[in-house]
Amino acid sequence: MGRHQGRGRRGGHRQRWHDHPPSRGGSRPPTLVRPPAPGCVRGCTARGQARPRPRRHPQPGRARRSLSERRTARRLSARAREPQREDATDALVDGDVPYTRGTARAALAHRPFRVVWGGTFASNVGTWMQNVILAAFGYELTRSTTFVGVLFFAQLGPLLFLATLGGALADIVDRRRLLVAMQLAQLVLSFVLAGLAAADHPSRVALVACVLAIGVANALSAPALSAVLPTLVPRPDLAGAVSLQSVQMNASRVIGPAIGGVLYPAFGAAPVFAANALTYLFAVAAIWVTPFPRRARDASEEGRGRLLAGFRVVRHDPLVRRILTTMATMSLFSLAFVGLMPALAADNLGMRPRSLGYGLLYAGFGLGAALGAVSIGTLLAGRSKARIVRLGFVAFSVLLACFALVRSAALAYPVAILLGIAYFAVVTSLSTVLQENLADHLRGRVMALWIMAFGGTVPIGVLAAGAVATHTSITAVVLFGAAVALVLAWYADLVKAGGPGPA
């Protein structure tokens, strides 16, 4: 009779000295000696050392598998546990081709994200078509960089003052209803703007007021949209989702100005603004049919505490604080050329804002920005985002200086593309690190601060730069922004602030 059979026949555990040695100070065994685990092979491990081997109990009526069958089972089990690759079964992604977690392709495998992303992408194409043509229309109407700065401030300035309220609303009310209501409001206001632009002598005050109302609706909805999209994918695919968010914004900068550059010279500004109004319907439909995940509510924060929760995160988290400070400084001093692009093209390159060449210049910048954003979720998916930020700032500084000094359109187009790549490689990396370090119940309010830093400070910089350019030159303003970007390459050390280390 075997040892195991004998023990089972007796029905109890036979005590052995090496399992429970006698205590020297009493009846209690030493703490380093662990009692044997049930179902283990006794006497095969030293006391206090490795875990005992479990006993194998073959199931009754089940034949023992062959060696080849066991090897196949182990191989399939290891493949199932592999974390970084997954077989896609979605209609968009071929199920026979595995995709890598954290990439743009992995994010697109999730239908809710894909539907909302596609609908808002169509809406953003119309928005950027209107944004670019609005600046050109204002400059042709007044020939004043100051008025262009005022229009730009009316358009994006509400992000600075109302994004916090929009972030609190995104964490309190139903995000779907909030987004649909604000999209419909912008639809109506864009039709009003088209009517004003169709007049022979449009009122400047009415134009600014209408653009300001559109900016308010956008400021109240932008934090909700920024908070919703990352929740439509699992956390391992968050980097790909953030990358696609940036791609959406910048691909629309390519397609929108290209369409506007064709429509504006042929038909004027009014049809462009009316076409933008219709594109909001795509976003409304996509948001309405997509189920949003339920959010965890923080019952400890009520009233004003909800509004200030994002600021408390910034105060206590050095990584979030450094990311937002970096983005706000870049937007304030280095991105003034975005709003003053019509004046820069006219003064340095001899391009009229109504010309197709100007539309292509802006589209080239948007194309580069889209390439920079998509590279974070594809080519640079496994690279350290902290290193990309610092190297990207150096490249952005050099290319921005070249863009300010170039006087040939043939050189301006490739420089604009490269400038866009560096610009949004930095922005997308910062946004990815920020999103990966946020709790979902605070995401809306912290992302509202991101929107304030990213978009809300730009109109202030454009407004100030427009006034300075009137007394100096547009070239001097852009060169100053390049110098600030070089300083940010030193300051934006995310590893020192607690961010991800180098890959």
Q: How many domains does the chain have?
A: 1
In a domain, 52, yes or no: no
Q: Measured between alpha carbons, how far is residue 340 from residues 34, 139, 143, 249 in Å? A: 75, 10, 12, 19
Summarize pLDDT for 294-339 with one digit per residue, the tens: 665 555 455 556 667 778 888 888 888 999 999 999 999 999 888 8
Q: Give the helix/strand (H/E) hosting 87.
A: strand 85-87
**59 phi/psi in degrees, rounded to 5:** -70, 140
Contacts of residue 489, Cβ cutoff 8 Å, sequence gap at least 6: 390, 391, 393, 394, 397
Which three-class secondary structure state does DSSP give residue 40?
strand
Contacts of residue 345, Cβ cutoff 8 Å, sequence gap at least 6: 351, 353, 357, 358, 361
Q: What value does the mean pLDDT take over residues 181-200?
A: 93
Q: What value does the mean pLDDT take over residues 231-245?
A: 76
**165 phi/psi in degrees, rounded to 5:** -65, -40
**Single-letter amino acid code for the residue at 428:** T
Cβ burial, residue 503 (10 Å; 0-12/13-18/19+): exposed
Task: For residue 231, name the pLDDT band (cuts at 50, 70, 90).
Answer: confident
- Spatial contact of 216 and 186, defined as CB atoms under 8 Å apart: no
In a domain, 38, yes or no: no
Summarize pLDDT for 202-214 with one digit per residue, the tens: 889 999 999 999 9
In a domain, 13, yes or no: no
Q: What value does the mean pLDDT take over residues 118-129?
A: 89
Q: What value does the mean pLDDT take over residues 363-382?
A: 79
- Spatial contact of 148 and 459, defined as CB atoms under 8 Å apart: no
The whole-angstrom separation of Cα 445 and Cα 326 is 18
Positive/negative CA dihedral, 33, 34, 36, 40: negative
In a domain, 497, yes or no: no
% of the chain with per-residue pLDDT over 90: 23
The whole-angstrom separation of Cα 113 and Cα 483 is 38
**336 phi/psi in degrees, rounded to 5:** -65, -25
- Cα 114 to chain centroid distance, Å, stands at 15
Domain containing residue 238: CATH number: 1.20.1250.20
- Spatial contact of 33 and 47, defined as CB atoms under 8 Å apart: yes
Listed range (35-39, 257-261, 441-445, 473-477) with the worst mean pLDDT = 35-39
The whole-angstrom separation of Cα 370 and Cα 247 is 5
In a domain, 203, yes or no: yes
In a domain, 404, yes or no: yes
> Where in the sequence is the domain holding 364, given as residue range(s)?
104-290+303-491
**99 phi/psi in degrees, rounded to 5:** -120, 160
Q: What value does the mean pLDDT take over residues 182-188?
A: 94
- Spatial contact of 359 and 261, defined as CB atoms under 8 Å apart: yes
The residue length of the chain stands at: 503
pLDDT for the residue 64 = 61
The whole-angstrom separation of Cα 378 and Cα 243 is 9
In a domain, 262, yes or no: yes
Which three-class secondary structure state does DSSP give residue 100?
strand
Residue 46: pLDDT over 50: no
In a domain, 15, yes or no: no
